[in-house]
A = this chain, B = another copy of it.
Amino acid sequence: MGLNSSLRFRPFGIDTAFEYVVYLNAGCHICRSEGFAAQTRVVVGANGKTLIATLNILRGGALGIDEAALSLSAQAALDARPGDLLRFSHVPVLQSTSHIRAKIYGQRLNAVELKAIVDDTVAGRLSDLHLAAFVAACSGDRLDIDETVSLTTAMVDAGERLHWERTPVVDKHCVGGLPGNRTTPIVVAIVTACGLTMPKTSSRAITSPAGTADTMEVLAPVNLDVRAIRRVVDSVGGCIVWGGGMQLSPADDMLIRIERPLDLDSDGQLVASVLSKKIAAGSDRVLIDLPVGPTAKVRDAAAAARLCQRLSAVGTKLGLHVDTIVTDGTQPVGRGIGPGLEARDVVQVLTNHPNAPRDLRDRAVLLAGRVLELGGGADAGQGSAKAGATLDSGLAWRQFQAICEAQGGMRTIPQAPLTHVVTAARDGPVADVDNRVLARIAKLAGAPQSKSAGVDLHVQLGAPVEIGQALYTIHAEAPGELRYALGYATEHMDVVRIANDHD
């Protein structure tokens, strides 16, 4: 478009989170000659980089007609400095939007088509509307095995990939939906204390109140780059870091920020998400934990079997040895739900604290045992015993401290300034715990953004309670959030249901 298509960058300081927005004066020559209107998607270039941004038009004097402003996200992505020349052009017609439409209409996509969608996603060329439509179109079992393999491969190829000199490199992943189930830091500590290599990259929460990375961040830095991770793993045999910080399957993170507000996480995308991260992280033997329960992410044995089958089938086609384990998902594991409260549970188990939640310890020992067997660190059937002994001896705790130190230093767990205790309205045994409502309360209280926010559950299924006894405590950092969570909790008093005489 020639020299006429450029304007001077003027910082404006508008934080739109991830969204790229560009602000132009309504009277500038770009708007007039190019026919741009508000919400048009436009290509913006500076410093040899380009991105696609959504256009907002400034009507008023805040911006000169020879100036353009950028959202902070776009400013960072273009590395733009005040006075830099920004160049504008129309968005090319994207083949990937046709492929998304084809998927919406129920057609199968081939590897080339899925790669086009993933590449355009990572390059920021697709609008959030397109990504939301794509996510919805893939949900409800609408990706078959071959499509899932293609999507996984495209996601791996669109990012960085770690390679390790040694083998085996083990990993584990829990298919979420079970609040508080924070076994990963414990498993990594046990398994690496036993000499296996386990470079664990975790994600942040998708639809849950905390992801492993959110919880681990309470205890140590998790935003490590590839060099730092290699140093940590070389020195202590393992790590627990955020995968999104180093461009391992970056498409996964971009889809997650669409899936999160939609509360969607379909089978095909779940498998592609999990396995692309594992493959990109360089592991070759992976244990996938699927907690099953009526309010967990996986609702019943049939759904678990389907997911196991898909995980193994896709893994096999991609050269990854996938083992699966179906566990009890009928109630939360551990007491805390939210990053800080879950971190407290983890540390109690690792330190053999007398109040440590027994169920979390048992679950971690079970999983660590299976990983030890998968990686050749224990004979078949001997894994759990070895894992338990590693915890009891304090070896796992010392190893966990070493990992935290290697990642940048261990941190103190923050306490929420505001709490509210919800008590039993009558006597009786606990008949039901609704994981989804508990998770929602924890999210409304501010988790995972507010580290110390969440829910502390004080009772378990079947336990007898008395009227007035504490059932759970809501933790929050801001009054508005506490009030919001409490409002929802008041509407859902049966989140912890106490049996009555007729039950």
Contact = CB atoms under 8 A, between A and B. Distances in A.
Contacts of A58: 13-15
A317 to B, nearest CB: 26
Interface string A215-233: 0000000000000000000
A418 to B, nearest CB: 11
A18 B478 CA distance: 32
Task: Give this chain's copy count.
Answer: 2
Given A18-B39, A39-B19, A479-B33, A13 B105 contact: no
Interface string A9-35: 001111111110001001000001111
A139 B480 contact: no
Given A14-B57, A440-B93, A37 B132 contact: no
Interface stretch (A255-263, A330-338, A351-359, A384-392): A255-263
A343 to B, nearest CB: 20
Interface stretch (A108-116, A123-131, A394-402): A123-131
Contacts of A136: 104, 132-134, 136-137
Contacts of A37: 17, 449
Given A35-B446, A262-B129, A262-B130, A14 B480 contact: no
A446 B14 CA distance: 30
29 contacts: A1-B483, A12-B62, A13-B62, A16-B39, A17-B38, A17-B39, A18-B39, A34-B478, A35-B449, A35-B477, A35-B478, A56-B71, A93-B488, A97-B262, A101-B262, A104-B136, A104-B264, A105-B139, A105-B140, A127-B261, A128-B132, A129-B132, A129-B261, A130-B261, A130-B262, A132-B133, A132-B136, A133-B136, A133-B264
Given A13-B60, A34-B478, 11 more contacts: A1-B483, A14-B23, A15-B59, A33-B478, A90-B480, A97-B263, A101-B264, A129-B262, A132-B136, A133-B133, A137-B139
Interface of A: 1, 11-19, 23, 26, 32-35, 37-39, 56-60, 62, 71-72, 90, 93, 97, 100-101, 104-106, 127-130, 132-137, 139-141, 258, 261-264, 440, 446, 449-450, 477-481, 483-484, 488
